Amino acid sequence: MTGHDLIDAVLPDILIVDDDPGMVQVLAKALRPLGRLRFAMHGQDALERIASAVPDIVLLDAQMPGLSGFDVLDAIKANPALADLPVIMVTSHAEADFEQAGLERGAADFIAKPIHPPVVQARVRTQLRLKQANDQLKQMSAADRQNLAVAREDLSDSHARLQRTADELRLANESLVQFVRIASHDLREPLNTIAQFVGLIDEDHGAQLPPDAQRYMRLVLRASARMRTLLDDVVRYARLQAGETDEPAPVPLDRVMTELRDALAARIAETGAELRIDPLPVVMGQASLLSLLFQNLLTNALKFVPRNRTPQVRVSACVLDGRVKVSISDNGIGIAPEHVSRLFQPFQRLNLKSEYEGTGLGLAVARQIAEAHGGSIGVRSNAEQGVVFEVLLPLDG
């Protein structure tokens, strides 16, 4: 069922009230398929917009300067004409007493940050259906009201099941992240011991070892480095899957790319690569995660190149409808069209480890980071003709 099916004649009017532009963009992306969107950046603005045209539902940030979300909720519920207007509170506080206070004041539901778009869509759909049922109830006969009450009870049961499922998923994600962290720590300790002692043997006695033994030592050290990288990538991927992200802030992409150029200087010098970076804008997001995203893409662009070819990499950007599209193009080995669907799946490798090193998680992590910023990542490629990765991100302001 799409948002267009919820109300036959007119799309639902959805009012998003939040003083954080980044959160507004994330909510707008999730809810745009469900109806017509309006926005307010503070409490007084929200009340004025409601007075001018009553929406079908309000998503209301609980913590705002001036009139808080709870103040706006009190004002809405104090007006008899707005008593049935569903209000979903969006908050970074998930404590039970905090939710209880909001529900007692008349909130229809709560959404905790960081948000998960499918859950947000499901909860908004549920509240729109309940409101539609409530509106129809006022116009129907007593006999029909009884039938509708059963339907509303079914919808409420569905919402309760959805809430239980969401809670179970949240607990499962938290358990997964905790397990990955513990497993990573327990695996890293013996791995570091192996790498340190093999390094000492190679440093102190390597010259006396036969050539085959020296080669075996180097293989152990390289395998240890790959294992550490894999453990780091697994932890990052699990954290992103669980929605562990900080509040967005302005991030100058020019600075991010300059720092990455310095970090990759040895690789660039080793391969003789040509890295061209065009002027880039400021986006909303988390600098550390965006740096990791573009590091993965640049590392791949420098790595997946035939041995007899000098890597040529270009980073460019253009603005599209309030978002920026960052393109990273290379002249590497390219990707066959039939393999593109596997590209962003975790632990998927399109090439042999003996040809190109890697964990199979880099692009999966890149996609998770892009989606956590309310954006997306895609690829254009022909085999043997290089690739162009395109990352869409929200602009600052």
Q: What tens-digit pLDDT sequence spans the chain (397 residues)?
A: 444 444 445 789 999 999 999 899 999 999 999 999 999 999 999 999 999 999 999 999 988 888 989 999 999 999 998 988 999 999 876 666 777 888 889 999 988 888 889 999 999 999 999 988 888 777 665 567 677 777 888 888 888 888 887 777 666 666 556 656 665 566 667 777 887 888 888 888 878 888 888 888 877 877 777 667 666 666 666 666 656 566 788 999 999 999 888 888 888 988 899 999 999 999 988 887 888 889 889 988 888 888 888 999 999 999 988 889 999 999 988 887 777 777 777 655 555 444 555 556 778 888 888 888 889 999 988 666 789 999 999 887 6
What does the alpha-carbon distance between residue 154 and residue 161 come to, in Å, rounded to a whole number? 10
- Whether a cis peptide bond, with omega within 30° of 0, leads into 337 is no
- Residues paired with residue 16 on neighbouring β-strands, in sequence order: 39, 59
Question: Helices 211-241 and 142-205: crossing angle, nearest 10°?
Answer: 160
The CATH classification number of 3-139 equals 3.40.50.2300
Report the run of H or E that residue 250 belongs to, with start and end.
Answer: strand 249-252
pTM score, whole prediction:
0.45
What does the alpha-carbon distance between residue 74 and residue 61 come to, in Å, rounded to a whole number? 14
C-alpha to C-alpha distances, 9 to 3, 12, 121, 285, 392, nearest whole angstrom: 12, 9, 20, 38, 33
Cβ-in-10-Å burial (0-12, 13-18, 19+) of 62 comes to buried
Judge whether 379 and 335 are in contact, CB under 8 Å.
yes
Q: Start-end ranges of CATH 3.30.565.10 in the chain?
A: 246-397
Residue 184 phi/psi, 5° resolution? Answer: -60, -45
Within 10 angstroms of residue 171's Cβ, the number of other Cβ atoms is: 10
Residue 278 phi/psi, 5° resolution? Answer: -75, 165
> Which three-class secondary structure state does DSSP give residue 187?
helix
The CATH classification number of 246-397 equals 3.30.565.10
Residue 14 makes CB contacts below 8 A (sequence gap 6+) with 31, 34, 35, 36, 37, 38, 55, 56, 57, 59, 124
Residue 97 phi/psi, 5° resolution? Answer: -70, -30
Judge whether 62 and 91 are in contact, CB under 8 Å.
yes
Q: Start-end ranges of CATH 3.40.50.2300 in the chain?
A: 3-139
Tally of CA atoms within 13 A in the half-sphere of 275 that contains its CB:
24
